[in-house]
Amino acid sequence: MEMNVSNNEEQVVAKKLGGLNPALIIPVLILIGIAIYIFVLGNPGNFKADPRLDGLSSVAFSGLETKELHPGNGFMGVIYMGGPIVPILISFMIIVIVFSIERALVLGKATGKGDVDNFVLTVRRLLNQNKVDEAIEECDRQEGSIGNVVKEGLTTYKALSNDTTMNKEQKMVALNKSIEEATTLEMPMLEKNMMILSTLGTVATLVALLGTVIGMIKAFSALGSGGGTPDSAALSIGISEALVNTALGIGTSAVAIILYNYFTSKIDGLTFKIDEIAMSIQQSFAEFH
C-alpha cells in the first residue's frame, strides 16, 4: 500500500513540474514573432524615402502603410528588409528563449532545495549507518525529482526490511524495480520539450537558408535587369535580405544547440546522482538485511 501511495505522489509531482504545453504555447509565440516584425521592426519611423525606388513598398506582407525600402533607423529597418522569412526566424528565437527559461525552472525544481552533491553524501552516510528514517527525512527536505526517487527507494527499503514473505533475492529484485519505476516516472518530466530545442537548432538554419536563397535570387534578378545597368537599390536589398536571414538563422541555431547541450548535461548529471544513490541503497540493503 505504501508503494502505491508513493507512486501516486510521484505522478502528482511530475504533472506539476511537467512544464509548458507546446501545442498551446508555440502558436501564441509565433503570433508574437509576427507582431514584432510588423509593428516593431516595420514601424514607419524605421524607414525613410529612397528616390531610387519610386515609392515602392518593401514588403506587402505587413499590411501597414507603405514603407520605403531604405532603412532610416539602424538595425530594425534592416532586419525588416529581410522579408517574410524573418518573422518565422524571430518566432523561432522567441520559442527557444521561452522554452529554455521553462526548462531551467523545471530542472531547478527537479534538483531540489539543497545542494545535490551534499544530499547524495548525506544519504549515503546515513545508509552506511542503516539510518533509513533519517535518510527519508533528508529526502523530504531536499524535495525535487532526485529527492522523490530516493524517497521511493527508501520507503520500499523500509517496507521490505519488515517483510517476511520474500527471501533476500526477491527483496533485492523488488527494491531495484521500485527505484527503476520511480526513475522512469521522473525522466519524461525532465526531458519534456527538449526536442523543441533540438529541432529548432537544425530547422532554424534550413529556414534561414531558404531566406538567403530568396534574397540572392532577388539580387541576381537586379543584376540582369535594366538593360545592362544593374539596379543598385534592388541589388542591395536582395543582398541585405540574404544576409539578414543568414544572421538570424545562425544566431537562433547556435543559441538552441548550446542550451540543448547544457540542459542535456544537467539531466545526465541528475540521472547519475540518482543511479549513485540507488546503488548505495541496494548495497546497504544487502549488507544489513
Give one word for 148, left, alpha or beta, with left for phi > 0 and alpha for psi -120 to 50. alpha
Confidence of residue 52 (pLDDT cuts 50, 70, 90): low
Residue-range domain boundaries for the chain: 2-18+83-288
pLDDT of residue 67: 52
pTM above 0.85, yes or no: no
| Euclidean distance between CA atoms 127 and 285, whole angstroms | 9
Rg from Cα positions in the chain: 28
Is pLDDT at 17 greater than 80 in this prediction?
A: no
Nearest-5° Cα angle at 184, 178 to 186: 105
Residues 265-278: tens digit of each pLDDT: 999 999 899 888 88
Pairing of strands 47-48, 70-71: antiparallel
Name the more confident of 230 and 8.
230
In this predicted structure, what is the pLDDT of residue 48? 74
pLDDT score at 62: 39
pLDDT bracket for residue 49 (50, 70, 90): low
Confidence class for position 63, pLDDT limits 50, 70, 90: very low
Per-residue pLDDT tens for 143-170? 888 899 999 999 998 888 888 888 888 8
